[in-house]
């Protein structure tokens, strides 16, 4: 069994573009702990524990997704009081992102996995253990990223550090 999730795949260059936003977030909430640069991602669906048979069926289903690549503009910092995370998010969720997330959620639910949230709120976690004022939201200089793939990740501890290891990549058309 492995702890898995589907996420947008950001290139190393895109992850570097996110670092100034992370620094800005940390300056607003100095007690927060930064997410490692190579762990920056935008979750589509968190699966939790997955066995090998389920994983193969999920991979087969993900390979059938034929949706267009799209642009994602991130333009505000905000905070979830629980689980105390500071994040970067879009003010306007692109229809293409919603279609991708719904397609992924559809085949995940067909395999018996449940959605852990009532509604999808796309965001990139920049820092954990963040204590922010209630309803904290701050506009930032917009960052537009091109999204051309999504990935099945394995969440694991390696050398005492949380790491998200890409298992399978799925290209958008």
* pLDDT exceeds 90 at position 49: yes
* pLDDT exceeds 70 at position 117: no
Extended strands (E) in 9-148: 33-34, 42-50, 70-80, 85-89, 124-128, 137-147
Average pLDDT on 153-172 reads 95
* pLDDT exceeds 80 at position 145: yes
Q: What angle do CA 34, 8, 118 make, to 5 degrees?
A: 85
* pLDDT exceeds 90 at position 118: no
In this prediction, residue 120 carries a pLDDT of: 93
CATH number of 2-171: 3.90.1140.10
Evaluate whether 67 touches 99 at the Cβ level (below 8 Å): yes
In this prediction, residue 81 carries a pLDDT of: 84
* pLDDT exceeds 90 at position 119: no
Evaluate whether 164 touches 153 at the Cβ level (below 8 Å): yes
């Amino acid at each position: 069994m492995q702890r898995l999730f589907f996420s947008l795949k950001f290139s190393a260059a895109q992850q570097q573009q996110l670092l100034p936003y992370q620094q800005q977030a940390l300056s607003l909430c100095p007690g927060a702990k930064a997410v490692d640069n190579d762990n920056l991602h935008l979750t589509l669906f968190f699966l939790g524990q997955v066995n090998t048979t389920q994983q193969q069926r999920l991979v087969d289903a993900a390979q059938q997704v034929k949706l267009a690549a799209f642009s994602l503009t991130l333009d505000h910092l905000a905070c979830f009081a629980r689980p105390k995370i500071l994040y970067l998010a879009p003010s306007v969720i692109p229809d293409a992102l919603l279609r991708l997330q719904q397609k992924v959620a559809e085949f995940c639910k067909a395999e018996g996995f449940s959605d852990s949230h009532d509604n999808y709120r796309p965001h990139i976690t920049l820092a954990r253990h963040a204590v922010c004022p209630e309803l904290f939201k701050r506009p930032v200089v917009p960052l537009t990223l091109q999204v051309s793939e999504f990935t099945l990740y394995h969440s694991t501890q390696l050398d005492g550090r949380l790491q998200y290891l890409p298992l399978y990549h799925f290209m958008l058309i």
